[in-house]
Structure 1
Amino acid sequence: MDTDSEAASSRAGSETDVETESEAVSPTGVEYEAGTEIESDTDPIAVITPQRRGCKWTGGDDARLLSGYRRQISTPRIAAILGRTPRAVRDRLAKLRQPNTPAPTSATVNLLPTQRLEIYAFGTGECAELGLGPEVKARVVRRPRLNVHLHHEKVGIVAIAAGGMHGLALSHEGRVYSWGVNDQSALGRGTQYTPLGGDGDSGSDSDSDSDVPLNALESTPMPITSFPEGTVITNIAAGDSISIAVTNTGRVYTWGTFRSSEGILGFNEDIHVQPVPKLLDTPQDVVQVAAGTNHALALTKRGEVYTWGNGEHGELGRRIVPRARLTQLNPTRVITEGVTSVAAGSYHSFAIDRDGKVWSWGLNQYAQCGIDDNDGIRFPTLVGSLTDYRIKQISAGEHHTAALTDGGQLLVWGRDDDGQLGLGLVKSSAADVVSTRSVHKLHVAPGTSFTSIACGTHHNIAISTEGQAFTWGSDVGYQTGQGPHNQRGEIIDVPTQIENKATIGVRLVSAAAGGQFSIIAGVPAMRPTDGAVPDNHAIAGSRA
């Protein structure tokens, strides 16, 4: 117990004639009865014990009672828990300090980005994931191609996201556009399509036939119109069969479903697949969302992190009870404070705190969490290998991760047998699995620094401060945008700048990477800007 608290207790015990109240009134108004134990797991760190006159707060350096109660009152008010406060204590105090009064739904929490961007797509679009329309020539695009359906003036896209096989785009008006595979309603709108002269088809089966046009309602970006009137979306994320959107008032809408190793897990405990956007039961001050293959994260303005979806690999950061497995579909808080950004890989998750430190959890067999431990990381754990850096952004793929420091340096770790780390490592045979269990600095051209990073399943896109795109990793579907394979094969094992006519003079500002397709966004350098470039929250893709 510190000196000030001991002095306060001593004074309270010695005043026998006059009842007084200290000037240091508790700011929390939280009252505990005499004998209450404040516990951390199994060992109490402090106890309020009855005394002859009033009560006394006892405990170690981790706790103290500030004065602020009458000497004969047996329910002193706890003013502060100081030092290294255990999570159980912090959670309890947080609940008591924060009344369960919903925030006003009209209060603006998030601002919509205003910079209108030109959108380019490349990779394999056999299932309409490129969003370039139904034409046969839009199936495989080896270099970035302008998406004319998302015209920078007529539509005005300000943010992009990529799931496994679908894409999302956010307009300057706060509308969400979607395209790609809609088998489990990831597009949030109907795509039943009857081609001219056809006999009626949803498009899902015929898309595999290379000589048949794609389903126009899936392959063409179209707005989701079922949001309540007046809804303004400011942040988007996409997983495999799930899509998420955050409003300017901090509410979360989502649609689609989550899958497990056994098939469809469900959208929530009552709904198998959700076809259109549905308001989620989350705090009303959410500022960012991220999506992995089958899980999701939400970050509140207060720095809390909520997770939901499929947690069979530990990606939710909390214990899952098998007999009540559908409860994992309910958003649940796993971090109570201090987080400024979240990100999701396929089966692992990240949180960056206000000090630029990184916390991770989930599948970790290739050390993709940044922790050299073969076991999965079941709960949020500090990534010690990154403590020497101040991390600005993280993005993650299936089994690899990339981070961006505040100085524009790229760091990579995890699996590398498809060149996804960009380290130039070569596997000796197709059966070999190459990985690095430590963090490596990624060296590009001298003097090159970066402003954002996006990881797909097995490839990456980094945007430099000069507005150029560098890609590396698996290129089996031309998702790196480097053109025909020719003699170089299907792996780009070091970061390589994209050079093509379509993006000449374009200042690229963001990217999103899916399974075998990619999206980049930018503004022509000579065009006057009409707003700020979106921040990392606005441009976060499915792997955030």
Structure 2
Amino acid sequence: MVRKLSTKDVGKTEEPKKSRGRPRKISAVEKGSNSGKRKLSKSVSEEPRIKQKKIEVPNLFELASVGVALTLGQGDTGQLGLGEDIMERKKPALVRGELDGKKIKKIIGGGMHTVCLTDDHKVYSFGCNDEGALGRLTSDDSEGFEPKIVGGSLEGVKVIDISAGDSHCAALSEDGNVFLWGCFRDNHGRLGLAKEWEKCGEPIKLDQIQNCVVAIASGCDHVAMITDEGKVFTLGCGEQGQLGRLSKYALSRGGRKSAERCLRPKPVTVPKIKGKSGKPMFCEVYCGSYCTYIVSTDGDVFGFGLNNYHQLGIPDGESRYMPVYIPTFSEKKWRSISGGLHHSMLLDEHGDVYCIGRGDYGRLGLGEKVLIADKPTKIEALQNIVQIGAGPCVSFAVDKNGKAFAWGMGTNFQLTSGEEDDEWTPIEFRGKQLEERSVIMVGGGGQHTVLLACDKIVNGE
């Protein structure tokens, strides 16, 4: 059973499209120490360029632990990867098939599909392929129920990061190139990917960005990227301001004619912060369903997109179509930011978790009395957290001991409680597959949950 959200859920003027699923840009795995740095200075373009300062980012691929893939929730389109006979799981189940024996570095839940990145830089996908989100050709729906490798233009490419949205995926290569497949959608339906109104069933390489990309993130229908020069590029649907470079007037007046401008990656112009000299350079990017957060090398946070429940950290509830500095998000040093449909989560350097935005169904984890939070509010029940994730109306956290926690809407059995009841405060993940395993990361798809877990450490082994 899928719970319907009322029309007031999306605000009066920024109504997101009707979607098949509400994905999350799952946050990166714990960053760990700064020992693994990746510095990209070589430009993708062969044209001579003015030499500029390059940023350094942690090599998350090298720092990330490996584990096995687990899934639960709704799986009627194959997003659980458990075969055609498994349409639903109330507890985490081990994904086998072609992933059996593979060492997985990252797993991401899309709207109705799932993608995995292995330690040998390969990408696997399973789930719904109606809009090309699997990045591989399927002759019928049954071929999406089990994990298969994504080939095509990814053959021989060393992929180090992945992201996923409602109907698209993105992959970042070791040499700073971005590959996309699937389709972006807007309120009118299919928006396109490389071309207007057309999906891409196999990966294509973005060739419009002249510098190496060092970080990627996906919302429901947009992608945001950081280059080695600290610049931000976006593409996809911009109806709620999530691209940060097209005005509300331009989008509404242009209608479907604005598709070409949305589908070509373009830089985002970020204003200077009052009292600080020079333009900010960015090193981190995160996405909610319909908004984007970017973090500068100085730790300052900017945001743009849907803000109808203050999920951007701006108290007026008005969406932003251009980047704005967010003081309430810049007061602390954050390890990670994760966003759902109408709420955001922030993980600070001390392992504390803060939530902001809409609280219906318990997604804030602050109890039944808190239906909205207009500033980051600490979840007192959580300590020593190392990773956070979110789905549309659910939230997740993993602590340093490998225990996972969930809260929010229980309709799709995403919380491991085994019931459809909402959870208003964090509960610990349950299931036989977790009895001898520690959780590394967890995130939410449209109606399913994905986990990466490894065998528990005993006596240092």
TM-score (normalised: structure 1) = 0.68
Report whether the alignment pairs 1:424 with 2:367: yes
Structure 1: runs of 5 or more not aligned? 1-97, 104-108, 193-201, 204-214, 428-433, 531-544
Q: Is the CA contact 1:119–1:150 (under 8 Å) kept in the aligned structure 2?
A: no
Structure 2: runs of 5 or more not aligned? 1-46, 53-57, 271-278
Q: 1:133 to 1:284 in 2, by over 3 A?
A: farther
Report whether the alignment pairs 1:507 with 2:438: yes
Report whether the alignment pairs 1:470 with 2:405: yes
Number of corresponding residues: 393
Partner residue, 2:22: none
Partner residue, 1:377: 320
Q: Is the CA contact 1:297–1:307 (under 8 Å) kept in the aligned structure 2?
A: yes
Counterpart CA distance in 2 for 1:271 and 1:365 is 28
Partner residue, 1:490: 421
Partner residue, 1:118: 68
Partner residue, 2:130: 183
Secondary structure, aligned partner of 1:393? strand
Deviation, structure 1 residue 265: 0.9
Counterpart CA distance in 1 for 2:66 and 2:363 is 30
* One-letter code aligned to 1:232: K
Deviation, structure 1 residue 295: 0.7
Q: 1:257 to 1:100 in 2, by over 3 A?
A: farther
Give the root-mean-square deviation of aligned CA atoms: 2.5
Q: 1:355 to 1:186 in 2, by over 3 A?
A: same
Q: Out of 272, 278, 282, which is 2:198 matched to?
A: 272
Deviation, structure 1 residue 378: 1.4
CA displacement, residues 199-245 of structure 1 (integer Å, 9 cap, x when unaligned): xxx22xxxxxxxxxxx1x11101101212542111100000111100
Counterpart CA distance in 2 for 1:507 and 1:110 is 23
Partner residue, 2:38: none
Partner residue, 2:212: 285
Partner residue, 2:87: 139
Q: Is the CA contact 1:296–1:308 (under 8 Å) kept in the aligned structure 2?
A: yes
Partner residue, 2:223: 296
Partner residue, 1:305: 232
Q: 1:477 to 1:337 in 2, by over 3 A?
A: same
Report whether the alignment pairs 1:402 with 2:345: yes
Report whether the alignment pairs 1:148 with 2:96: yes
CA displacement, residues 256-292 of structure 1 (integer Å, 9 cap, x when unaligned): 1111101111113456111100001224411221111
* One-letter code aligned to 1:508: V
Counterpart CA distance in 1 for 2:154 and 2:387 is 32
Range moving further from structure 2, 222-231 or 180-189: 222-231
Counterpart CA distance in 1 for 2:282 and 2:107 is 23
Q: 1:228 to 1:439 in 2, by over 3 A?
A: closer
Secondary structure, aligned partner of 1:326? helix
Partner residue, 2:28: none
* One-letter code aligned to 2:238: G
Higher RCO structure, 1 or 2 (CA under 8 Å, sep 6+): 2
Q: 1:523 to 1:102 in 2, by over 3 A?
A: farther
Report whether the alignment pairs 1:231 with 2:157: yes
Q: Is the CA contact 2:68–2:102 (under 8 Å) kept in the aligned structure 1?
A: no
Q: Is the CA contact 1:415–1:435 (under 8 Å) kept in the aligned structure 2?
A: yes
Q: 1:375 to 1:117 in 2, by over 3 A?
A: same
Partner residue, 1:365: 308
Report whether the alignment pairs 1:333 with 2:267: yes
Partner residue, 1:443: 380
- Asked which structure has the greater CA Rg, the reply is 1
Secondary structure, aligned partner of 1:227? helix
Secondary structure, aligned partner of 1:408? coil
TM-score (normalised: structure 2) = 0.80
Identity of aligned residues (%): 30
Q: 1:294 to 1:493 in 2, by over 3 A?
A: same
CA displacement, residues 374-423 of structure 1 (integer Å, 9 cap, x when unaligned): 22111111111123211110000011100100111101001111111011
